[in-house]
Amino acid sequence: MDLRKEDRETLRTLAEKYMGYALSYKNAESRTLWRSLNNGIMRKPMVAIDQMPWNELDVDGSLVCAVDDPYFRRIEWTLRSEIYKWEHLRVDMVLNPYILLPRPVGNTGYGLRPLHEALAVTDAANDVVSQRFVNQIRGPEDVEKIMTPVITVDRDAEARIRAEAERVFEGIAPVRMQGMIMHLGFWDWIAQWMGAENCYIELMDRPEMMHAVMEKLTEATLSVIDQVNSLGLYDINSNMCHCSYTFSDSLPSKDCDPDNPATGDGWAFGMAQIFTSVSPKTTEEFEVRYMSRIFGRFGAIYYGCCDRLDDRLDIITKMPNIRKISCSPWSDREKFAANLPQKYIMSNKPGPALLAHPTFDEEAVRADLRRTIAAAKSNGLRLEMLLKDISTVKYEPERLWRWAEIAEEETLRAAL
């Protein structure tokens, strides 16, 4: 790892600007508001924006990376993208007052990789494309293809990374290591190994095979948790989980070893997105039954993504340690709010489709936000709104910037 002089200068310049924002009063205020929300008291509905079409957003070249070293190029991109978000679509985002360094973790995986063919490519710079997945679990014997991952960490590489980063950012910013955050969306993986349609068919025709798949994945994941904890690799420094800020007084735990954090000190996220098209009973049998054995190993769980959950919240809330539950555009938000117990945070996902229409309708955006805020308020719920999964803004970044301004206006209005 040998950074060029100009690369060091680039990183230091970006870090200086980043830390100026990270140490600002506005940043501290937003962090306090998120902490209050997660602790149990909502001062205002909170808003964050993530998962954006970066290929459409650069307006001045500020998102173009220049660092040669691949590891520190990732750090450069993080700094550039976070600065961009702060300057153009901040709302309630929070910048950590340090530079995060991803730990050099190895993961052998579950033995299967998605096999697919792209059905359409609309933009060479955009990797979000329609795909057809090849079914790799065609019979019970194929369940044995699922392996237990082996987790490793390169301690020597980690020491070199930290030492180099401390030299680069000396006098500007402290550095902290970023560990693993576990994605527990088994059905996302299974759908990619089999194809969604095949999953639905086998749930009806060969449920015993699908139970075997889930049992194999559950046992393998429990082993991963044990490995991660023995290596002290879990993340407590990013303060984010599935695009949501996780600041709270309860995590990490008071007896957490910051140099060897465990899963009980942090957040993980789960989901079963294809179960939008199955019954609540099937969700209980093939998701809740298995995740209930896993979620208890973590400090907190963010549950859901694009799945519809308003018709099965009584089942979802049987799983332990869930603190936030996703209300996607496919959920009836009024029904969701009426059925969600007040101990949980309603994590609404505003529809990104409003950014993709032929023309940008500001009043439609405002009405959408007000409807969600009203649903949460009428049921006494804490509310966060996470705009994410944004595939396009029609190459008009100003649409996203304006969405952020409207969201700030409406949430401040709701706080009055």
What residues does 107 pair with on adjacent strands?
A: 151
What CATH number should be reported for the domain holding residue 287?
A: 3.20.20.210
CB 173, CB 18: distance < 8 Å? yes
Angle at 26 between CA 23 and CA 29, to 5 degrees: 100
What residues does 116 pair with on adjacent strands?
A: 133
| One-character DSSP codes across 224-246 | HHHHHHHHT-B--SS-EETTEE-
122 DSSP assignment: S
Specify the pLDDT at position 118.
74
Torsion over CA of 377, 380, 386 and 392, rounded to 10 degrees?
A: -40
Which residues are CB-contacts of 389 (< 8 A; sequence separation ≥ 6)?
Answer: 51, 306, 349, 352
Q: What is the count of structural domains for the chain?
A: 1
Tens-level pLDDT at each residue, the chain (416 residues): 779 999 999 999 999 999 999 999 999 999 999 999 999 999 999 999 999 999 999 999 999 999 999 999 999 999 999 999 999 999 999 999 999 999 999 999 999 999 987 776 656 666 666 778 999 999 999 999 999 999 999 999 999 999 999 999 999 999 999 999 999 999 999 999 999 999 999 999 999 999 999 999 999 999 999 999 999 999 999 999 999 999 999 999 999 999 999 999 999 999 999 999 999 999 999 999 999 999 999 999 999 999 999 999 999 999 999 999 999 999 999 999 999 999 999 999 999 999 999 999 999 999 999 999 999 999 999 999 999 999 999 999 999 999 999 999 999 999 86
Which pair of tokens denotes residue 29? 């205020």
Specify the pLDDT at position 127.
62
What does the alpha-carbon distance between residue 237 and residue 179 come to, in Å, rounded to a whole number? 8
Specify the pLDDT at position 381.
98
Specify the pLDDT at position 35.
98
Specify the pLDDT at position 382.
98
Range of the domain at 308: 5-415
pTM: 0.96
Specify the pLDDT at position 415.
87
